[in-house]
Amino acid sequence: MKKNLIEDPFEKEREEKGIGEMNDQNDQVTMVLRHRDVRKCAHNWKDYTSAAKPGRIVIPSEVNIRETRQIPFELDPPKHGQYRKVIEEWFRRPLKEDYQEKLKSQIELLLDEVIDLEQVELVHDFALKLQSRALTLLLNTPFEESETWISWGTHVFRSEGEALDGDKANILYDYIDKEIKRAELNPTDDLYSMLLASAVEGKKLTHEEIKGVLVLTFAGGRDTVINAVTNTIAYFAEHPESLTHIKEEPEIVGKAVEELLRYFSPLTQIGRVVKTDSHICEHAVKADTRIGLCWASANRDAQVFENPNEIDLTRKMNPHVAFGFGTHNCLGASHARQILRILVLAIASKVESIEVLDGEENIEELGVFRRKVGYHNLNVAFNKIENK
């Protein structure tokens, strides 16, 4: 098993040209690679729009499998802000103590379930379960719903061997339609019911708009959280000294998680559609083509991060863009941060060491670039701290 390195495939192009190019389903992408440019382009919604055809700003493009506009993700200001306002407070619930307590007991229980096993396959039997169960807290739906979501497998949109799978997407869309109708008949205090009771500019949200919020919530936090969880455990398996460090100084967990997020960059990039012919790093980008805001490359930019390819859990200045940047920054970030902080602390308190047995890496192909984002599967064994 190779070391749990996540190499930076963008370094040469980032330093020499500042951009990279990839062809995604015959829809060209100019990947923006430098930290400064990524932030500038993310900030500049007037020239680089999110309000394109639904699915187009996702790379790989989902235009062929999705018609529902993800909200607020696929809107530009000022409309974006109006919708975001409706849900922003909801997505900050993870900052509350009772939410964190529930998340903590979920994660500790799951860890207890696998800690004594001879081996556990982390992606499906740990990370997917953790992500799905935690999502019941974010949606405020019954815990049992997580069993349905777990049964869908690791990808909502993608199945093994196929990059984009329309049938998988339909399972999710049908499920969400059904849940919106259920909440309409019997409102509860879940996200569906909250959205059904919400309005923008005096107009109630339509089912299609509510579906757009839910599709984003399900899809945006699935692979990303699963990869972050799996990569985090793989990292501590190879760095027992870091696990000891967290045990001895649990107060560094916040900084540690930010550094892991920077290094893993669970979402490689997000696209925007160019509105008028312009330039990035003296390179022409044509109207109606796409740029890719490459968070993963920006997070290794040596102009900003000292020793960018090393994990320094106490890194003090860490202006990473793992959750994006600007008005569209990740709505699920508070939830994701809590998951990782609680997970790291739980592992530090219960686990002596972790052994990686075998696994298969998950590599994205992005034009000339090949980037590891995590694992398709990873078998590990936990060694428990014995209570003396």
Instruction: Provide, rounded to whole angstroms, the least separation between the CB of residue 127 and other proteins.
Output: 23
| Residue placing its CB nearer to other proteins in the complex, 285 or 304 | 304
User: What is the contact surface with other proteins in residues (CB under 8 A)?
Assistant: 36, 39-40, 43, 95, 254-255, 257-259, 304, 315-321, 323, 325-326, 329, 333-334, 337
Instruction: Provide, rounded to whole angstroms, the least separation between the CB of residue 140 and other proteins.
Output: 21
How far, in Å, CA of 217 to CA of 72, rounded?
A: 10
Residue 134's Cβ-side half-sphere holds a number of Cα atoms within 13 Å equal to 32
How far, in Å, CA of 89 to CA of 87, rounded?
A: 6
Strands (E), the chain: 19-24, 27-32, 48-49, 120-121, 199-200, 203-204, 270-274, 278-280, 283-285, 290-293, 351-366, 369-384
Instruction: Provide, rounded to whole angstroms, the least separation between the CB of residue 28 and other proteins.
Output: 26
Instruction: Provide, rounded to whole angstroms, the least separation between the CB of residue 40 and other proteins.
Output: 7
Instruction: Provide, rounded to whole angstroms, the least separation between the CB of residue 91 and other proteins.
Output: 11
| Residue placing its CB nearer to other proteins in the complex, 45 or 235 | 45
Contacts of 79 (CB under 8 A, 6+ apart): 51
Instruction: Provide, rounded to whole angstroms, the least separation between the CB of residue 274 and other proteins.
Output: 19
In terms of Cα–Cα distance, which of 120, 131, 64, 154 is closest to 237?
A: 120
Residue 343's Cβ-side half-sphere holds a number of Cα atoms within 13 Å equal to 26
* Alpha helices, H only, 328-367: 333-350
| Residue placing its CB nearer to other proteins in the complex, 120 or 331 | 331
Amino acid at 213: V
| Residue placing its CB nearer to other proteins in the complex, 43 or 181 | 43
| Residue placing its CB nearer to other proteins in the complex, 65 or 346 | 346
| Residue placing its CB nearer to other proteins in the complex, 36 or 102 | 36
Backbone φ and ψ for 128, nearest 5 degrees, come out as: -60, -40
